[in-house]
Amino acid sequence: MSLLAVEQLRVAYGRIRAVQGLDLRVDEGEAVCLIGANGAGKTTTLKALAGLLPAQGAIQFDGHRLGGRPAHEIARLGLTLVPEGRGIFPRMTVLENLQMGAYARRDRHAVKDDLEQVFSLLPRLAERKTQKAGLFSGGEQQMLALGRALMSQPRLLMLDEPSMGLAPVMVQTVFGIIGQIIARGVSLLLVEQNARLALKVCQRGYVLEHGAATLSGPATELAADPAVQAAYLGEV
Ligand code: ATP
């Protein structure tokens, strides 16, 4: 059974049908990406899965039906979204932001261990743990958002455009970290404009157009597909 199985997802903003009949699945330990042009419905899909937008269709997650559940309940089941723009708390320190990620957990000893794990994955955060997050660069804020999400012990981590607004060198750094998170066995659903990087780091992908998947398959196959290359990888 898949960790996440979505059938015929539909999401509308009034009369605008942003997602119209999307099927997708993520298996345990798998890293899956959604690629597609601006406005294809990628962000809307993640928000709907996180319970931040009303949606129609069947969503099964880790043995639970998600339809109609509020966002905080979905988060508690371990479906964690790192939103576009990261959503960190700028007036809080790095440490406080990370602790917020674990606020729903009761296993205090495991939280302490996870904090050490996050600092070993993201040493830059360890060096600056008493600093206010608002002073950080975009790349550092993205690292903090990843670290905070890991502190919630996600069953499935959803990342929305982690490369957004970052300098090229920082994009490489952030994707290196995402690669390490995947290597640690965290299940991942990644939305990313940079299709080349997304297909490099993930095992499988979906191409979204007008709110539905037009192509899907192993990332290596999608990256080698001439239509994908022409439309999303800047190759002819
Ligand atoms: P992007 O990379 O630009 O975020 P996307 O693939 O994530 O693209 P969405 O943001 O999910 O696409 O948008 C899908 C469609 O829904 C688009 O037509 C967009 O204009 C529309 N849309 C998104 N947010 C809203 C909103 N708050 N109100 C009305 N329409 C919206």
Residue 89: give its domain's CATH number. Answer: 3.40.50.300
Q: Looking at ligand 1, which atom is closest to the CA of residue 16?
A: 30
- Please count the structural domains in the chain: 1
8 A C-beta contact, residue 207 and residue 216: yes
The whole domain housing 70 covers: 4-232
* pLDDT band (50, 70, 90) for residue 17: very high
CB-based burial, 185-211: b 16+ in 10 Å, e otherwise = ebbbbbbbebbebbbebbbbbbbbeeb
Q: Looking at ligand 1, which atom is closest to the CA of residue 43?
A: 7
Residue of 9, 15, 42 best suited for mutating to test ligand 1, as the one with most atoms within 8 Å of CB:
42
pLDDT surpasses 70 at 149:
yes
155-193: pLDDT as tens digits = 999 999 999 989 999 999 999 999 999 999 999 999 999
Structure pTM? 0.94
Q: Ligand 1: distance of its center to the CA of 161 in Å? A: 13
Question: Using CA atoms, how far apart are residues 186 and 59, in angstroms rounded to an integer?
Answer: 20
Q: Ligand 1: distance of its center to the CA of 49 in Å? A: 15
Residue of 11, 15, 16 best suited for mutating to test ligand 1, as the one with most atoms within 8 Å of CB:
16
